[in-house]
Amino acid sequence: MKLLLDTCTFLWIATGDRALSRVARESFADPHNDVYLSAVSAWEIAIKHALGKLPLPRQPTTLVPDIRARHHIESLPLDERAALAVAQLPELHRDPFDRMLICQSIMGGLTLVTPDPLITQYAVRTLW
């Protein structure tokens, strides 16, 4: 299975947060699954950190790649096809970062690992 981590899921994996569900933790740890972090999530982390809304022990420029490498998480770039697909999404969820993750999941055949119930309203595979 190809898994795309929601931003909060990535951060919870990095910190070992208990908010991470058992199913999400087991799916992430399964060596048969390919795990991705979107450039959109890296962008969200950088923006929220710069605004003081997301305290981190180091700058995102080094922290995010280090966490990805340590946990064998691949980077997923944002392509034009997924970016343009956002115009086709109904306005069920207003968060622009989540909307792009939904599009990347749909266009790439990925399962989005997220606790966000609003995301499940879309025609996207989710896991939690």
Class for the domain spanning 2-127:
alpha beta
Q: How far is CA 25 from the centre of its chain?
A: 14
Residue 110: Cβ within 10 Å count: 22
> pLDDT, tens digit, for every residue of 21-80?
999 999 999 999 999 999 999 999 999 999 999 999 999 999 999 999 999 999 999 999
What is the value of pTM for the model shown?
0.94
Q: pLDDT confidence of 92, banded at 50, 70, 90?
A: confident
Which of 81, 79, 102 shows the shortest CA–CA distance to 90? 102
Mean pLDDT rounded to a whole number for the chain:
96
Amino acid residing at 92: L
Q: Residue 94: is its pLDDT beyond 90?
A: no
- Predicted confidence at residue 59, as pLDDT, reads 97
